Amino acid sequence: MRAVFMRLPADDPRSLVFAAAVCRSWRAILSDPGFAHGYRALHGGPPMLGFLHNEYRAGNRFVPTSTFRRRASQDRPDCQVLDSRHGLVLLYAPAYDPPLEARDLVTGDWWDIDDDPKCRDIMHWPGDGPDDFFSGTGVRCNATVLCAKDRCDHLDCHGGPFLVALVGSVEEGGIALATVYSSEARQWSHMISVQSPGLLTDDGGHTAVVGDKVYVPSYECDSVVEFNIREQQLSVINVPENLGQGFLYLIGVEDGMLLFASVLKPRLYLLSMEAGPRGAAAWARRRVVELEPLLPPRALLDMSESNIWAVGFAEGVSVIFLRTPAGCYAIDLNSGRANKVGEFSIEKVMPYARFCTGGTYRLANKVHDEQGIEKVITPMAMPLSPPALVDDAMRAVFMRLPADDPRSLIRAAAVCRGWRAILSDPGFARGYRALHGAPPMLGFLHNEYRRGNRFVSTSTFRRPASHDHRDCHVLDSRHGLALLYAPGYHAPFDVCDLVTDNWREIDDDPKCHDIMHWPGDDPDDYYNGSIHCNATVFCAIDRCDHLDCHGGPFLVALVGSADEGSITLATVYSSETHQWSDMISVQTPGLQIDTGGRTAVVGNNKVYVPNYEGDSVVEYNIREQQLSVIKAPEILDQGYLDLLGVEDGMLLFASVRKPRLYLWSMEAGPGGAAAWARRRVVELEPLLPPHALLDMSSSDVWTVGFAEGVRVIFLRTPAGLYAVELNSGRANKMGEFSIEKVMPYTRFCIGAWGRLPASDEAPQAVAGGTMM
């Protein structure tokens, strides 16, 4: 049960509270400080519990995005919220003495910030006296609260020392000033200033913190002020005019770089900025998000009026808040989903992120209802028998168990018949998949020299050794299916579901088998007029979300090049007709298909295959039965571009240069046209060991795989194979240097178990796989 509780989502503290109310033994587990420490370490970044915003003449309001509810006694309608960061909220009430207060919403603790003429007499916010706010003597000021611990991971820094930084501009922008308050010294620092002609700091804009540096935007969105707290220095960083992105709003930090957003012609553009010395900065386009599929039509009306803009960003969970004519929407950049969270009147969203474990949320016997009113739950004294919780409560607990931990669900099903009935319900399986979104990565496949294929687990799912099929090579894995190839068999292709162990043979046909070959075939005819071929397996259901398409129809596309690259050919197999299509071809002088390269699928009718040189991809339009070549522009100057997969409906490419990983997106157009954009830059030095980055000039680090949906990139380095999680910024060693191609296997296990174990059976037996 400790393992089950450890896997409960961090944004659902109510499930932990309910579990703690079942019996004393469960309450002892959840109250253990060791459990709280391990829970935070496992989940990484703190979850977003909700967000705060100010209402006109009505103070502040907390909007929950989780099961956490702020106590009604903490509402404080007489206070304005200035900032929220590192589990703290900064409140401001000019009528009080002192006017500033830092508060922890989970524990209810607060700290008054001592008054000082350095800040209060000259710095004001909207809501103060209107006569002196614009009189030239007041300062347009922005405030930031942040943890004061050096090199803190902010997983459990609540109640520790904090800083409050104030940055403002005076005399119509002629001077920028700053001061900082320390909770340890309980005093403000001396005011520092810098000449900044024409600059007005945005008192309502979002600030950002990178280490001991605070960044504050200007009203015109054409510059940011950098306040170096440790060195007590101010500098101004200007936004280059050639970006051409309109108003750039500072929204936060991602991967140690400032993140900016702008909205133009129903697209959301995200750009990153890495600050350098003396106001220098390196800018890069990080991501482009199409808003039409996410927002209702009325939210995108009259885009020329710039009536859509970013009003908040939740760091760590990658959720951006947009104010639109249809209301305020939260867009999850990881899942690609959007939800309405408020009305158009919300001008600034301040997300509140924090863990609730460790006794801070009174896990023993208290919970808050929808109105934030505290209620006492009496624990049931049932130390010797399985707890009889209400089915709806346990259903909610099980629904929140991570999708990459099917072992927890299997163990729960073995506890009692009531729990087994919940987990066997087809409605539970549908809801579970819908809630979790993209299928989890259960592991990955790769080929070993003269030893067939191997499955490496990255979850609690295990493929039985009897299913390894060492005489087969893996060609591709996608949509819960693996494509295997054994040239010595009558039907050389097999499509396998690793969870259910269902196999479907693909009939032999001269269109493909007699002329298309892979490494491992007869070496005498491999380069003697035969075709360098790549294969792709994917779901054939139109507009499928791929959450539960296992066992349905599929396609296998083969794309190859012949006659030393002068001709490219393609054919496709349909599991519904059990036939291969007629071969099609196109003249492609000098192009050779990369037989070991990764392919990508957009929709269910376009397959993209790379060439050996990494400077172009072949597009195979299955519906129209057409082939075309898309070339990478020379201006990218990023060396060898590896095709990784698909993200946000666009192809994703990667290259490694001078210990950085560069990610590029490409949106294909008609006739071989394409729009390219740099999507992200990842610093590898903090992620990989030193010996993994030696001799970078020899290109000994490159990408060998990408897990779509979960955003994990696999890198082959001299130190071994590493999996880099783009969402969390973590890297883990997964294998040795010899692995040349990683094929991630993603699939939900829920609903694919068949008969769940009886209460007296071992819980590890699962239809086609095992949960170890």
Residues in CB range of 720: below 8 A, 6 or more apart: 692, 733, 734, 735, 736, 737
Same fold, 45-353 and 441-746: yes
The CATH topology of domain 45-353 is: Neuraminidase (2.120.10)
Per domain, the residue ranges of the chain are 1-44, 45-353, 388-426, 441-746
**Res 526: pLDDT:** 36
332 bridge partner residues: 319, 337
Closest CA to 290 of 304, 300, 276: 300
Tokens coding 5: 């509780």
Alpha carbon separation from 364 to 10, 47, 204, 391, 395 (Å, rounded): 17, 21, 40, 21, 21
Nearest CA to 323 out of 312, 337, 334 is that of: 312
pLDDT along the chain (772 residues), means of 10: 80 83 82 88 88 83 89 71 93 82 90 76 52 45 90 80 90 80 92 84 89 89 89 87 71 88 83 75 79 84 68 91 91 85 88 78 43 43 41 76 86 83 87 87 87 87 69 88 83 87 81 58 44 86 82 90 79 92 87 88 90 86 92 67 87 84 81 74 83 67 90 91 86 86 91 46 41 40
Cα–Cα dist 446/103, whole Å: 51
Give residue 759's pLDDT.
Answer: 38
Residue 361 is predicted with a pLDDT of 44
Torsional sign, CA 666, 660, 235, 201: positive
Right CATH number for 441-746 from 2.60.40, 2.40.50, 2.120.10, 2.60.120? 2.120.10
Distances (CA, A) of 718 to 689, 694, 732, 739: 10, 8, 14, 11
pLDDT score of 90: 93
Q: How far is it, in rounded angstroms, from Cα 621 to Cα 658?
A: 36
Tokens of residue 211, six digits: 């280490």
| pLDDT value, residue 358 | 62
Return all residues near 82 (Cβ < 8 A) that are at least 6 apart. 90, 91, 92, 125, 142, 143, 145
The full DSSP string for 397-441 is HHHTS-TT-HHHHHHHHTT-HHHHHHHH-HHHHHHHHHHH-SPPE
Structure tokens at 368: 């808050």
Strand ranges (DSSP E) for 343-412? 350-353, 366-368, 374-376
Per-residue tokens: 619: 């597009």
Q: What is the pLDDT of residue 623?
A: 92
As given in the structure block, the two tokens for residue 576 are 């519904």
pLDDT of residue 242: 58
pTM of the entire predicted model: 0.61
Closest CA to 406 of 496, 537, 498, 316: 498
